[in-house]
Amino acid sequence: MRAERIGSANYGYTSAPFMGKLRADAIPGRSPTTRPCPVLNARFARRLCRTAQDTAMIPATARPFDGIYPSTITPLRPDFALDEAMLARHTAEVALLPGIAGALCAGHAGENFHLSRAEKKRVIEVTAATIGASRIVVAGINAENSQAAAEHARDAKAAGADALMVFAPNSWAMTQDGEMAVRHHQAIIAAAGMPIFLFQASVNAGRMAYSAPVLERLVRLPGIVGIKEGSWETAAYEATRRMVKSVAPSVSVMASGDEHLLACYVLGSEGSLVSLADIIPETIVALDRAVRTSDLAQARRHHDIVYPLAKAIYGTPPGGHATARIKACLKLLGRIPCDATKPPIGPLPAEEIARLHAALAAAGLLPA
């Protein structure tokens, strides 16, 4: 076995005996020195050395998938091609931090609904090559029919993913029933045989959001390990959590309504898969920790950083601009050189860029 993950480059991981170290010269702008990868602790030690064909990087714990996962963007060049070096750099910067369990790549924030099949697979390969030696790689699956979704699931497994996040097809906003939802997930489970996260869409997303009876059927399927609970409404979140814990207590319910993380963490959460952690990963980790240690005053301080950014990015219509706004924030912070998104989304108007600058300033990330 070997330390490198599959793909044409290993994006920063050296071969043995330097397993678990990130080569700084693999990240643009860093000096060519070797530095330890943060938080390579004993629970990961047995599973550092892997390829997509052998043991997955899943901690040997009772609840291995709990924790905080940035839902990473897909950096693009001005011509809309993948910027693989920037993808590796950004993923390393947000996922190789203390308290981060892994990353969700090729999710909604990663523009999975706009990427080609080949692009999706390459995003997963680069992510796995960058963080897969020490972090869990969750790959988003978003396809309009179950056959394509099954193909994408097999691609994700071959590319080095440890688990899958299955998004409801966008067409389900118009029509969906329990049989369709169950068949779709069963096809993916049969194709890949991997741990599966469900996605519960916003209460404003029409029939893409599963009803309680449908969700109860889904959480009982084999291989379901968690739910990215994105209902974006705290009462709906609590109802979902109580139902899941009553019928499938081993399934992790993970809050993902960024404005409401504090409230949802207080209600109970096994972690989050959130795109705001692309911008403030340490704050999301600290918010979760403060709630778990019952330090409500500290949790409120972290929430005061989260809230203005969440409102500017997600709480302002149109919601479909969220990824473009995240990328614009990262460019304003000097973390990515290009904030392009796949057409037809973007570029954002100057007044919106100014509003995002003000939100970053309110969060203390930029001068006013």
Residue 320: what pLDDT?
86
Residue 245: what pLDDT?
97
Query: Token match 């473009």: residue?
Result: 324
Quick check: 336 and 85 in contact, CB under 8 A?
Answer: no
Q: Give one word for 348, left, alpha or beta, with left for phi > 0 and alpha for psi -120 to 50.
A: beta
Quick check: 194 and 201 in contact, CB under 8 A?
Answer: no
Domain-located, residue 245 = yes
Residue 274: what pLDDT?
96
Residue 257: what pLDDT?
82
Domain-located, residue 48 = yes
pLDDT mean by block of 10 residues, the chain; 368 residues = 33 29 31 31 32 60 93 98 98 98 96 96 98 97 96 98 94 80 96 96 73 95 95 90 96 91 96 97 98 97 95 89 97 98 93 96 92
Q: Where are the beta strands (DSSP E) in the chain?
A: 21-23, 34-36, 67-70, 102-105, 136-141, 163-166, 196-200, 224-229, 252-255, 271-274
Domain-located, residue 173 = yes
Question: What CATH number should be reported for the domain holding residue 300?
Answer: 3.20.20.70
Query: Token match 């409404």: residue?
Result: 233
Domain-located, residue 162 = yes
Domain-located, residue 5 = no
Q: Containing domain of residue 108, as a range?
A: 21-362
Residue 206: what pLDDT?
63
The residue length of the chain stands at: 368
The domain tally of the chain equals 1
Rounded to two decimals, the pTM is 0.85
Domain-located, residue 208 = yes
Domain-located, residue 235 = yes
Helix (H, G, I), strand (E, B), or coil: what is residue 128? helix
